[in-house]
Amino acid sequence: MMMSKVVLFSGETVGIIGLGRIGQAIAKRAEGFNCPICYYSRTEKRDSKYKYYPSVVELASKCEILVVACPLTEETHHIINREVINALGPKGYLINIGRGKHVDEAELVPALLEGLLGGAGLDVFENEPTVPEELFGLENVVLLPHVAGFCHL
């Protein structure tokens, strides 16, 4: 019988890439679990109570859970790359609810397989509808169809 690793959310530092409407809603919910919140966005939000980091790599190095909630642009394509994955590290978790092309899956999959990243929760994929086969058997990965657009924040 396989045993899955239990991941505690309460009290973990949550980093959010993109502190727009959706990012703020995620932050509000994470606060309910006593999670310190930090973020990266194109510009610092002067009215925000959350800690701002000027780079995604720095943000990833300061949190246990990294949530991608930004729009897909030329600048955010592959915003999650090997450098960010390494900064998040073997105890870190990546959650992508944005767009599949935010994450460089050629870097993500080996990092998950080699234990360089603690885990991932993905509901979007780089080459949809294709999902990398290697992800299906991993206990540290949760895969879902993209349903975030059907919720009301």
Residue ranges per structural domain of the chain: 14-150
- Which residues contact residue 134 at a Cβ distance below 8 angstroms, ignoring those fewer than 6 apart? 109, 112, 113
Which helix H or strand E contains 105, and what residues bound it? helix 105-113
- Tokens encoding 115: 């234990």
- Catalytically annotated residue among 31, 58, 82, 146: 146
| Catalytic annotation present for 99 | yes
Half-sphere exposure of 68 (CA within 13 A, CB side): 32
The answer to whether the beta carbons of residues 96 and 102 sit under 8 Å apart is: yes
pTM score: 0.90
Q: What is 14-150's CATH number? A: 3.40.50.720
- Write down the residue that tokens 């394509």 correspond to: 77
Sign of CA dihedral 97, 98, 100, 106: negative
Question: Of the residues 44, 75, 83, 128, which is catalytic?
Answer: 128
Q: Decide: 79 and 105 in contact? Cβ < 8 Å.
A: no
**Model confidence over 43-77: pLDDT tens digits?**
999 999 999 999 999 999 999 999 999 999 999 99
What is the bridge-based pairing of β-strands 119-122 and 14-17?
Answer: unpaired
Q: By C-alpha distance, which of 15, 118, 30 is closest to 60?
A: 15
Residue of 12, 64, 99, 126 marked catalytic: 99
What does each of the 153 residues of the chain score in pLDDT, given as a tens digit? 344 444 567 889 999 999 999 999 999 999 999 999 999 999 999 999 999 999 999 999 999 999 999 999 999 999 999 999 999 999 999 999 999 999 999 999 999 999 999 999 999 999 988 899 999 989 999 998 766 555 555
